[in-house]
Structure 1
């Protein structure tokens, strides 16, 4: 899929990202979120939801999501992007996604992820879906490399749960505040990834293993790195 620039949406993005955290706070109250399209749009803002879906992200709704607890290895391939210089189809660093403490009464879940030179922790995480399909809607603090400021971003992870892992895996992220650190992608830009073989397999790893040929790892970007 070709990268779809969102420069036309920039006039509204400052407002979108500026109010994101305040609009999220209401929906983090226990038993308020029911996984509806309207509530997801309120959590993300309708404008950001539209931008993500325009870039190819599928967002699942519903209040009976499958249990997604566990670790999953994602071999990330760029599907679409609004980041300058990005090329769809490029491999990025593998990532291990970890979900735990899922609560289907209030549709909450705990999230973290790790790449070779990057990691992040959820500071607000909701889950929607039905049957085997789900979307995790996440506010995340991420760190790239050493000595970097902690960036704030929003992520959505979607797919279908199987015994092997997350099929039809998609991972969208958008930068809210990079704290002026040049190692990160620019504010109000984002990427959508898919999985190399369409399934993020279950794993016992907490960080990706070095499965790449020598020298290849250094040629790949991390998710929120420039």
Structure 2
């Protein structure tokens, strides 16, 4: 009788452990199929938050060549992680112009400017990594940004599809990593996510940088 009870208890324990492990595994964050260097720029936790709120993440380690100059046109905000954001959903901002060059596989150099006349921010790239397959890609930009007295480290996540006309279905995800000198709280808090999309659905290909056509 004791042997039967022991075997029964052992079976129940094994079943409980299996169910517990299955639940634990199902709750683990998704492992994105993107270059390891991209995960060093932005954690998979933040990538998952962006994806869950409308950001397209094009996975893969064989991205297209994205070299060129692209103007986003007016961007419209579709998501903010802030409960009381000064920018409401639907907020519009002026165009950004991106320059991608010297691409080697999943690595590419990036420059960009805010095309708004009143913009004061200046960005210096730490590095850009690309994921994707075919003509679809997602680029992860690690940037040092100076805006007057404030210095920040931002991550920009750009997604779309390369076409002869530009980047189709262009999206721009933003994450504030860190900031210094913001004594008045002019910048959003660290950890803030915003997601923007091109109103025209196309970041138009340009010939000149930082200005011109």
Give the corresponding residue for 2:50: 52
Contact 2:58 2:132 in 1 (8 A): yes
Larger Rg: 2
Displacement of 1:80: 1.1
Aligned counterparts, 1:184-223, within 5 A: 184-207=187-210
Displacement of 1:124: 2.0
Contact 1:73 1:208 in 2 (8 A): no
Paired with 1:123 and 1:132, the residues of 2 have a C-alpha distance of 25
Displacement of 1:42: 5.8
Give the corresponding residue for 1:142: 145
Contact 1:108 1:125 in 2 (8 A): yes
Return the TM-score normalized by structure 1: 0.69
Structure 2 runs not aligned, ≥5 long:
1-31
Paired with 2:91 and 2:61, the residues of 1 have a C-alpha distance of 35
Give the corresponding residue for 1:224: none
Give the corresponding residue for 2:177: 176
Give the corresponding residue for 2:13: none
Displacement of 1:37: 4.0
Displacement of 1:207: 3.8
Give the corresponding residue for 1:80: 79
CA gap of 1:196–1:207, structure 2 versus 1, over 3 A, is farther
SS of residue paired to 1:63:
coil
Displacement of 1:51: 1.4
Deviation sequence 1:84-126 (CA, Å, 0-9, x none): 232122210211011111101xx10111211131332220211
Displacement of 1:38: 7.6
CA gap of 1:96–1:188, structure 2 versus 1, over 3 A, is same
Contact 1:178 1:185 in 2 (8 A): no
Give the corresponding residue for 1:68: 66
